[in-house]
């Protein structure tokens, strides 16, 4: 039985990882600045900021494997704090892990580090060219961890997931689901005919645990093996919801200018990662994971249907709840409210 430390263990992904590890019979500690009230009692909670080096060092005592998930996500629009938490926090976690003599370090990265590549599918060899501040910080954080782990010969697994869906995953999807539920039109930038891959949280966890169990250091790009275009995903979800919503196209150039301005003014929930990339093709080559025996269960359509149904079933509770994680709480519509009402 190994002892695991999950940083960011109260967030959406960290919480799933901690629960999977407990289910495997492992000892688990989570480090976070807020406590998840639904945390199983078997999981030890350590209140600590990832930038508190002494606190991180204490948390690592007796730990065999580190699962580093602390990160500020695009929705937080954190500016310079992206660098403090996503880069400096990652560096502290890796440095203290080396000092503690842990056996392995697993780093949760992001597909944002690829930016908006022109060639698809995306592979490990695709150039890393992030197009906005969050992606640049995640890339620098991954590079910092690698620069620490490799000279120390600490085995490093890097997970780069596509956009995640699943029960309890809210963030920007809460707005989409709410509009469809209320029969408002939904919008795509451009024609929406770009191939776009998502990943279900449980399929991501299956890939994550497979990489952990195989003990094969390296980079793992994780996305669904069955997917279509953005427009197809939305139209199929609308049919499933028996909604009268329609998918409407917005011209790419003017829309991006407007969203960038609204973002700068603080009146839009959308971050640059959303409006600079979601109208472009984006999908991973997942053949490496499939060859290892990974069997994803969800297509884009299946994960959208499950996520939407969960949202509707929990609508009243969600309206009154304020979770500590940006991906586990509702998001304000801001300027998008006007678009919803006028179009």
Picking from 249, 221, 233, 235, the residue whose alpha carbon sits closest to that of residue 195 is 233
In this prediction the pTM is 0.92
Write the pLDDT tens digit of every residue in 58-80: 999 999 999 999 999 888 877 88
Looking at residue 343, what is its pLDDT? 58
Q: What is the residue-averaged pLDDT of the chain?
A: 92
Q: Give span(s): CATH 3.40.50.720, the chain.
A: 3-164+197-222
List the single range of 62-76, 106-120, 316-330 with lowest mean pLDDT.
316-330
**Which residue, 232, 242, 168, 175, is CA-closest to 202?**
168
pLDDT of 105 higher than 90: yes
Each residue of 179-211: pLDDT tens digit?
Answer: 999 999 999 999 999 999 999 999 999 999 999
In the chain, residues under CATH classification 3.90.25 are 169-196+228-281+303-342
pLDDT value of position 172: 85
Asked if CATH classification 3.30.1050 holds for the domain at 169-196+228-281+303-342, the reply, yes or no, is no
207-240 burial, b at 16+ Cβ within 10 Å, e below that, comes to: bbbbbbeeeebebbbbbbbebbbbbbbbbbbbee
Q: Residue 27: what pLDDT?
A: 98
d(CA 162, CA 238): 22
- Note the CATH number of domain 3-164+197-222: 3.40.50.720
Other Cβ atoms closer than 10 A to 268: 22
What average pLDDT does this structure show over 33-58? 96
Mean pLDDT lowest among 58-62, 70-74, 88-92, 166-170: 166-170
């Amino acid at each position: 039985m190994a002892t695991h430390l999950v940083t960011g263990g109260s967030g959406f992904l960290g919480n799933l990882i901690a629960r999977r590890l407990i289910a495997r019979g492992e000892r688990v500690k989570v480090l976070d600045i807020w406590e998840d009230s639904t945390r199983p009692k078997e999981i030890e909670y350590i209140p600590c900021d990832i930038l508190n080096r002494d606190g991180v060092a204490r948390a690592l005592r007796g730990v065999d494997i580190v699962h580093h998930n602390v990160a500020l996500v695009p929705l937080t629009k954190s500016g310079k704090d992206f660098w403090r938490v996503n880069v400096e926090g990652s560096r502290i976690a890796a440095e203290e892990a080396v000092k503690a003599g842990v056996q392995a370090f697993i780093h949760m990265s992001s597909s944002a580090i690829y930016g908006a590549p022109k060639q698809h599918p995306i592979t490990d060899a695709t150039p890393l060219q992030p197009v906005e501040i969050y992606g640049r910080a995640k890339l620098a954080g991954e590079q910092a961890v690698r620069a620490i782990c490799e000279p120390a010969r600490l085995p490093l697994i890097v997970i780069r997931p596509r956009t995640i869906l699943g029960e309890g995953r809210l963030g920007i999807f809460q707005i989409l689901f709410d509009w469809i539920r209320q029969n408002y039109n939904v919008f795509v930038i451009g024609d929406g005919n770009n191939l776009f891959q998502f990943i279900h949280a449980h399929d991501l966890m299956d890939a994550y645990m497979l990489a952990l169990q195989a003990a094969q250091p390296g980079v793992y790009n994780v996305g669904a093996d069955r997917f279509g275009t953005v427009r197809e995903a939305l139209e199929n979800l609308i049919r499933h919801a028996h909604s009268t919503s329609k998918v409407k196209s917005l011209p790419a150039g003017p829309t991006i200018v407007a969203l960038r301005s609204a973002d700068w003014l603080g009146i839009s929930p959308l971050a640059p990662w959303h409006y600079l990339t979601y109208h472009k093709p984006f999908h991973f080559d997942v053949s490496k994971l499939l060859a290892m025996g990974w069997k994803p269960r969800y297509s884009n359509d299946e994960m959208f249907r499950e996520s939407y149904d969960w949202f509707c079933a929990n609508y009243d509770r969600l309206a009154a709840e304020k979770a500590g994680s940006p991906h586990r709480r509702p998001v304000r519509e801001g300027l998008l409210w006007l678009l919803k009402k006028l179009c």
